[in-house]
Structure 1
């Protein structure tokens, strides 16, 4: 059963200006293994993290650095969660997360579906 959905859109030029103005943004928003990625990729990951928060219904217990957007061998994105974020997801009864990301025309976007296991 779908427990929540979230979507986020990031303007790449605006994101780049924000990172240039505030270099510590990379450290506050992205895990160490994400930080060296190109800004275009970081913008997509930022959108995915924002969409996840929306799909969860809020940011209580969610920490940016506990959310990592990884890619499968096939290139499909997925979340690796840890710490209080993983606990918050479990406490909310979420059993699966699905994420889709795209870049086009100066924007990055992500869509997340949070699922709860079927109680029947």
Structure 2
């Protein structure tokens, strides 16, 4: 059963301006494993984190570092959750998260589906 759906899109040039203006954002928004990725990949990961919050439906207490996007050997992205993010997802009945990310030109986007058992 689908518990929640979230989508987000990021304007890459605007995201770049924000990171240039405030370089500490990279450290604040991304896990150490994410920080060396390309600008477009960072923008897509930011969109994924925002889409996750929308899929859960409750942003209170989420910390950026509790949400890490990792890829399997085929390049498929997924979430690695810790702390309050993991607790919140579980508390909302979400057992499985599906993530799709893409970037093209000046846009990066992400789509998240939260799935769980019927209660």
TM-based fold match above 0.5: yes
Shift of 1:118: 3.7
Shift of 1:74: 0.8
Name the structure 2 match of 1:3.
3
Of stretches 106-115 and 57-66 in structure 1, the one that deviates more from structure 2 is 57-66
Unaligned runs of 5+ in 1: none
TM value normalised by structure 2: 0.96
- Render the CA deviation track for 1:41-69: whole Å, top value 9, x for unaligned: 10000000000000000212311110000
- Report the secondary structure of 2:45's partner residue: helix
Does the CA contact (< 8 Å) of 1:11 and 1:108 recur in 2? yes
Name the structure 2 match of 1:109.
109
TM value normalised by structure 1: 0.95
Does the CA contact (< 8 Å) of 1:47 and 1:109 recur in 2? yes
Unaligned runs of 5+ in 2: none
Aligned residues: 119
Give the aligned CA root-mean-square deviation in angstroms.
0.9
